[in-house]
Structure 1
Amino acid sequence: MTSDLYLHLHPKGSVEDVFSNAMIGQQQLKNAVLEVGEGAVAWALEEAANSLERLQGEFQTVPDLPTPEIRLNLETLILDILMSSLSKTSEHQTLKLIPSMARQAARREVPFSSIVKNMRANQIIWVNNFFTASASLTMTPSTIQRLVTRGAGVVDELIEHFVICYLDERQVLMESQIARRRALVEKLVGNEVTLGPLDLKQIKDDHGLDLQHHHIGIMVSDINAKHSADLGKLQRNLQDAIAGDTALVVSSTQHVTWAWVSTLNAPTTAQIKRLEETLAHLSGARCALGEPAKGPAGFRRTHLQARDVSNAATPSSIRGIMRWADHVLTILLGQDLEKAAWYVDSVLGPLAYTSEKSSGYRQTLGAYLQSGNSLLHGAEILGIHRNTLVYRLQQIEVLLDYPIKERELEIRCALHLVAHFEQRVLKAEAGQPATSV
């Protein structure tokens, strides 16, 4: 039975023309006519068509706007609103259409806030137009309240469902993009690859990364970047650090993240400093940086440098923001700690023990070399008399069984390993527990 509430509604055009241009299915159209009347349905469909024109103007920059699907959604929504005022239990057909529309909007990267705003605007326009068309009628306050609140309820439910579906699809798309990025960078850093102009263009189109630029590889450890939102935030922060350029972030494991900052021109000292300041704000994280390098080969090289710094830092005392240039000696000498311990033992001999006495000898030797082999300055560093330093150095040479000057470079390298890896490259004296490497 048709409700009397909407008998006064009629379209500006002919009912036949409105019905013939509608996207809604014939069975749904018949059901709506039985519920609210032919004139009211035609009025609603005409309102939907007008809303579509407004929407097309607002979203004209969106590529391949799915106009038929949008019109079907608008038609179904306004009919759901009309029928909701007649029955609380009426089924909202729009909810069946929302998942598809939400997925399309997410794939086109249309901000859902714009879509929600448009839905609310249509709701207000339809309500205003309805009451304008109903000006000659006398409605009780309860009827007016029912019309407004139930109609708003339909739109609220629709928006909630749309946002959930939209965000779910964005999450799927983000995770897919992360997987593609991971596959790309693993290919680029795994082995040197030859890339033609078309390959470079495709990578730039898909990931926004121009491999011909200058790159700084970054390895971030002890950061929980499990979720795409964490990666997105890190990427935005890196991009803000060097304004106008691009950043690429890929999660390697739950606690290790690979990143690159790419610039058209070689990054300046000031830009690198800003980048380091940005990374320093990552609470609890350890960040390793490769040196700036250009092109696809540079993309790989700077990453491998950052990786080597990170690997060397794990068993050592290195902390904070670490650049490859500052730690390259540690990286080269400490790649194999077992062999590094052999080297320390070979060069320092009795000075390679973990004991306090051996530590004192190493401290004396280090101060002397740090002073540029100056007895006076070396003694000042240690806070002892010059003659005391001479005596200690004589004792050290007896223990080493060779003159310090004869193997100065080897001694410096051995002391460097001890400074960074400590007991991992030292040996225990008889009776002391051995330290595992």
Structure 2
Amino acid sequence: MTGQWLEWLQPDPSRPAEPVLSPAELAAARTELGPDAVEWALQSADAIAEEVLRKVPEHGGGPAAVTTLRRVTQSAVLTGLYLMRSDFNAPVPPLAEEALEGCREFARRGIPLELVLRGVRLGHAQVTRGLAAGVEEHVPADQRLGELRRIEDLMFSYVDAHSSVMAEEYIAERDRWRGSDEAARRAVIDELLAGRPVDQEAAAGSLRYDLSRTHVAAVLWDDTAGSGPAAERLHHAAASMARALEAAKALMIPAHGNTVWAWFAVTGELAEDRIERLQISLPDPAGVRAALGPPATGPHGMRRSHRGALQAQRMASHGTRSWLCEYRDVRLAALVTADSEHARWFVQEVLGPLASEGARLRELRETLRVYLAEERSLRTASDRLHIARNTVTYRVKRAEELLPATTTAGSSLELRVALEIAAASEHGTSASG
């Protein structure tokens, strides 16, 4: 029954995976391996990515970097399952392009090769344990030892062959990258973002950008699942943002795969008005999302605004908000969800039954949130929510009835913060990080 038991692998229904591979690749895998095996593979891959980020944090660096790592692990685990379905003498399948591009990106980001290969070893160990557990559960006792040996041999061959390919790809990309002008510009940016002092004149010459100005930073990323890098689309969107902000100069730096970092040099006293106009006037650039940091001045301002943009990206990455997320709109939620687990506990403790799932309860929470944000003005809240004042009154009363006694008697600030966290989570902007 070589490999047949793979179809019986059972994913965990409580933690559905979020694929980052192309729909075509996933459809082919489900046809070949079965839907349960593919879901098991995606969940296993995401567990590997979590372990790698925990033990080798250099693989992190923001949502785009994590997506790259997840794309590599999902592709690699599916390739491993294809190998398990084959005969013993079948050749090891080639490394998927998603894994190769991820390896090139690791090289461009300067992650040491030994840490890249350590991630491979961590993944190998975790997949082997998972497959061994599947054998124990689904393979008859008299066949288990032979199947376990087959898995061990195939996985060793798979990891050995692919580690060599990844090392070669990494070294080739690293050597190409080190000699490029792009690498020199990225090195200056890395120094600035790390908060280290730089020679401003030399840095400005390398970047061709004036560090002394007031800066508005942006993070732009391709929101088209599975389509790969979209540099032209991202740069076009960044250029449109620069024009809308009336920026004297724009700096664009490729970041991670499908992400671009940008800084716009603006007139300080006009920055806030131009950001507001940008949100209203710029049409949705199809396939692109963007996060905007707060205006800040000088070299340290570049870092400050960029960190704000990264926080806005974190809040917007999986959400249903508009294409543009501005830091000012989410800074409270970003601050209080930095520790995601603590944030979830806080919401549950402060809101009690009002924190439960369901469309009706979400409606009550949102009405109470807006009502409190508008200083308990029924008129203003009803205008913002586009509902009658009596409806606001009823929903607020019902929401307050669901709050724990400790909250109704306690701080209104805690209640407002808990409601903001819940609202961010409901937009997919996640108290789960």
Given the two structures, how large is their TM-score scaled by the length of structure 1?
0.48
Identify which of structures 1 and 2 has the higher relative contact order when contacts are C-alpha pairs closer than 8 Å and 6+ apart.
Answer: 2
Given the two structures, how large is their TM-score scaled by the length of structure 2?
0.48
